[in-house]
A and B are shown apart, each in its own frame.
Chain A
Amino acid sequence: MSLDLAGRVAIVTGASRGIGLGIAHVLAAHDAHVILVARGAGDTLEQAEQQVRSGSGRVLSLAGDVSDSATAAAATRLAHREFKRLDVLVNNAGVLEDGLIGMISESRIRNTLAVNVAAVLHFTQAGARLMASGPSGSIVNVSSIIGTHGSTGQMLYAASKAAVIGATRSAAKELAPKGVRVNALAPGYIDTAMISALSPAIHQQRLDSIGMQRIGTVADVADVALFLASDLSRYVTGQVIGVDGAMLI
């Protein structure tokens, strides 16, 4: 049993940057065919394609709004048309909206739940059928330590990422008889553009809360996603795996 993904087909949402780009890269490096899905303009996706292309598999991309079910249908149809199979689905796309209770607008609530939750449901619905028609499948949902533990000023984000965990556990039970595994990652404080807006004081506070005394890297998360995508995790489903260096919040 190995990490070799040759011949396997993966869809990664939110794949134009950050954790999604890192996961797409590591899957491609292990020879999977990878379909990148992101809202980004053509240039952004083209750049991502070039960055991801590193193994023997093909790298394709699809621009679209992940919260629109038509994007999920189009991505799955692309996998079906080009490869006739889907082995790995990484629901990574997400938005981080901080806001104290009483200061969260309805539009931010709608947008966050659409991107962080509805997109996961759309892609799972579309992807699971194609997966189930193949030998096996693995869905990896990217949640957050905020979804498992909560955090001041992040009620909205926490609610959306907790919903991802509920979806993960339910889908794992429903899809297990079909050979499709469903797990979630709960990254802690990871060095991506998402945290660039934090003040130096908050940044230091977060760093001080990490037992391993360093910020997490995209590679730290991507390697766990690779494990969940591969047959090394063949008997693991319905789990939420923290990737947080013993962060306390």
Chain B
Amino acid sequence: MTDLTSLTMRVRAIFIEALQLDDGIDARTLRYNETDGWDSVGHMTLVAALETEFDCMFETDDILDMSNFDKAVDTVRART
């Protein structure tokens, strides 16, 4: 079982690095195709970074459903 707080922080750090976001950004506001840099190209960069960080493989449906930060956290939690 992965500690949720720690996991959320790790996911947040990956978002900031992969999408080149400001350190102080509120992660709960991050949304696919709304947040600057989180377009389809950014999404694949983000997915690859999450898979590397958490040593897992997402399914295509996981990737398509990962439309905001909370969903990303849920997906990572389900796959790790």
Interface of A toward B, CB cutoff 8 Å: 69, 73, 76-77, 80, 84, 122, 125-126, 129-130, 132-133
In whole Å, how far is B65's beta carbon from the nearest beta carbon of chain A? 14
Q: How many residues of B contact A (CB 8 A)?
A: 10
Residue from the set A69, A129, A130 with the largest chain B CB neighbour count within 10 Å:
A129
Residues of A within 8 A of B52 (CB): 133
User: What is the distance, in angstroms, from A65's C-beta to the closest C-beta of chain B?
Assistant: 16
- In the bound complex, residues from chain B placing their C-beta under 8 Å from that of A122 are 60
Residues B59 and A133 in contact, CB atoms below 8 Å apart: no
Q: Determine if B48 and A73 form an interchain contact, defined as CB atoms under 8 angstroms apart.
A: no
Min CB–CB distance B44 → chain A (angstroms): 7
Q: Report if B57 contacts A (CB, 8 A).
A: yes
Q: For residue B44, which residue of chain A has the nearest CB? A: A129
Which residues on the B side are within 8 Å of A84 (C-beta)? Answer: 55
- A133 B60 Cβ-Cβ under 8 A: no
Question: Within 8 Å of chain A (Cβ to Cβ): is B11?
Answer: no
Smallest Cβ-Cβ distance to A132: which chain B residue:
B48
Choose from B44, B48, B56, B60 the contact partner of A126 (Cβ within 8 Å).
B60
Q: Given A133-B48, A133-B52: A80 and B60 within 8 A (CB)?
A: no
Residues B60 and A69 in contact, CB atoms below 8 Å apart: yes
A80:B48 contact, CB within 8 angstroms? no
* Min CB–CB distance A248 → chain B (angstroms): 41
Q: List 9 A-B contacts (CB under 8 A).
A: A69-B60, A77-B57, A80-B56, A126-B57, A126-B60, A129-B44, A129-B47, A130-B51, A133-B51
